[in-house]
Amino acid sequence: MDLSIIIVSFNTKQLLTDCLSSIKDAVRNLSADRQDINTEIFVVDNNSSDGTTTMIRKDYPQVKLIANKVNLGFSKANNQALKKAKGKYVLILNPDTRLMPNTLKEMIHFMDKHQDIAVSTCRVELANGSLDRDCRRHFPTPWRAFCHFSNLSKIFKDSKIFDQYYMGYLPQNSEHEIDSCVGAFMMVRQSAIKKVGYFDEDFFFYGEDLDWCWRFKEAGYKIVYTPITKIIHYKGAASGMKPSSKHLSAATRESKKKALKESTRAMELFYKKHYLNKYPFLITWLVIFGIKLLGQIRLLKA
């Protein structure tokens, strides 16, 4: 098996339909380029109430469906499929994405050419044509996070000192090594997964991609952003948190609150797991206080 594609879905039936349709075109393009290519697609559904599983069984019988009876979160659901995936490469993909016809072909060529890379991502583009900045970022040290949340990164845009969080000092049209990419599109080498392990299931929704990338880097692997191809990401459609995709979202008020709480819980979990022993008590106190304050502000705004 050459490629395993894993999608975790939760009440995103129409977006998932469009995503699977784009995958079909991309796989056809890939097969035309390499006739011996083998692919498998997993959809892990976290107990959607919008008829997702019925649609999969009816319209995409070739998809390997895992239908959960409860919402297990992003990490656990991905791990269910990761344990079954047989591909040389594994593509972690969001249901609110659309591939270009050449996406799979270009990214597999890229990974074949660069054997020292464990994780790669392409240009992840928002619906308005701008870059989804989460697709290439540094790890969030206290300084980088402070510059980001205080808007210093916007005031001193493109500065290598202040605009580190989203690597704003590097051009979007250049290929470069990064600390982390976003779980909306992660092309991962199976041999590296066997050494590093699966997603940390303490992360329910948010932060698991960042943590996974940390562990790949810690194991000595490279993670690279390349703009040779792109995908479209209708970001926030599953959670309902982004105004740009609000009209596409079926998220309830309760699920939005859950997503908001998990976004800041993931920040605290990541800090305690990877930075707690690296910084003095005062820095740690300020960071944790800032995260909790941010969580309350986000809930109030919602």
Q: 219 and 112 in one domain? A: yes
Contact 166, 191 (CB under 8 A): no
Q: 10 and 125 in one domain? A: yes
Quick one: pLDDT at residue 301?
83
Q: How far is CA 13 from the centre of its chain?
A: 19
Nearest Cα to 18, choosing from 77, 82, 95?
95
Mean pLDDT of the chain: 94
In the chain, % of residues over pLDDT 70: 95
> Does the residue 300 lie in any domain?
yes
Residue 242 has pLDDT above 60, yes or no: no
| Residue 297 or 246, more confident | 297
Contact 135, 184 (CB under 8 A): yes
CATH number at residue 213: 3.90.550.10
Q: 217 and 112 in one domain? A: yes
Whole-angstrom distance, CA of residue 286 vs CA of residue 184: 30
Sign of CA dihedral 167, 144, 206, 247: negative
Q: 256 and 133 in one domain? A: no
Residue for token pair 């919008």 = 50
Quick one: pLDDT at residue 250?
64
In this prediction, residues 265-289 reach a mean pLDDT of: 97
> Does the residue 151 lie in any domain?
no
In this prediction, residues 270-296 reach a mean pLDDT of: 96
Whole-angstrom distance, CA of residue 229 vs CA of residue 247: 27
In this prediction, residues 145-162 reach a mean pLDDT of: 96
In this prediction, residues 29-51 reach a mean pLDDT of: 93
Quick one: pLDDT at residue 257?
87
In this prediction, residues 223-248 reach a mean pLDDT of: 79
Q: 130 and 187 in one domain? A: yes
> Does the residue 168 lie in any domain?
no
Residue for token pair 């704003």 = 168
Q: 269 and 195 in one domain? A: no
Q: 293 and 209 in one domain? A: no
Nearest Cα to 52, choosing from 68, 41, 36?
68
Integer angstrom CA distances of residue 291 from 38, 130, 287: 44, 27, 6
Nearest Cα to 233, choosing from 62, 100, 79?
100
14: helix, strand or coil:
helix
Nearest Cα to 134, choosing from 119, 120, 123, 142?
123
In this prediction, residues 275-289 reach a mean pLDDT of: 96
Structure tokens at 164: 């580190």
Q: 93 and 50 in one domain? A: yes
Q: 228 and 102 in one domain? A: yes
Q: 271 and 201 in one domain? A: no
Q: 200 and 89 in one domain? A: yes
> Does the residue 214 lie in any domain?
yes
Q: What one-character DSSP code corresponds to residue 244?
A: G
Quick one: pLDDT at residue 258?
87
Domain region containing 71: 3-137+178-237
> Does the residue 247 lie in any domain?
no
Least confident of 64-68, 188-192, 250-254: 250-254
Residue 293 has pLDDT above 60, yes or no: yes
The amino acid present at 78, given as its one-letter code, is N
Domain count, the chain: 2
Residue 245 has pLDDT above 60, yes or no: no
Nearest Cα to 174, choosing from 131, 132, 226?
226
pTM, 2 dp: 0.94
The per-residue pLDDT for range 169-217, each reduced to its tens digit, is 999 999 999 999 999 999 999 999 999 999 999 999 999 999 999 999 9
CB neighbours of residue 177 within 10 Å: 12
| Residue 96 or 242, more confident | 96
Nearest Cα to 67, choosing from 82, 77, 79?
77
The per-residue pLDDT for range 1-32, each reduced to its tens digit, is 899 999 999 999 999 999 999 999 999 999 88
Q: 187 and 92 in one domain? A: yes
Q: What one-character DSSP code corresponds to residue 137?
A: B
Quick one: pLDDT at residue 172?
96
